Amino acid sequence: MEKLHAINCLLVFMFFSFISCTSKAQQPIQVPTTEALEIVSSQFEKWKNMEASFFDILADDIVWTVSGNSPVSGIYTSKKEFMEQAVAPILGKLKTPLKPELVSLIADDKFVWLHFEASAKNISNGIYENNYIWKMPLEDNKITNCIAFLDTYTLTDLMINNGKRMVKIIVDTKEYIGMWVTADGHIRHELLPNNRYDEARGNRKNAYLGRYKITGNHIDYKDDTGFTADGDFKDGILYHGGMILYKEKN
Domain boundaries, the chain: 33-166, 171-247
SS3 30: strand
Residues in the chain: 250
Q: What is the pLDDT of residues 123-135, one digit of tens each?
A: 988 889 999 999 9
pLDDT at 239 over 60: yes
Residue that wins the pLDDT comparison between 169 and 148: 148
- Listed in order, strand segments (DSSP E) in 27-73 are 58-66
Determine if the pTM surpasses 0.75: no
Contacts made by residues 33-36, CB under 8 angstroms, sequence distance 24+: 33/107, 33/108, 33/109, 35/141, 36/107, 36/112, 36/138
pLDDT at 152 over 50: yes
The CATH class of 171-247 is mainly beta
The pLDDT of 139-155, averaged and rounded, is 94
Listed in sequence order, the DSSP H helices in 76-211 are 79-82, 88-91, 152-161, 170-173
Mean pLDDT of the chain: 87
pLDDT on residue 69: 87
pLDDT on residue 30: 66
Domain spanning 33-166: CATH 3.10.450.50: yes
Q: How far apart are CA 217 and CA 152, in angstroms?
A: 14
pLDDT at 24 over 80: no
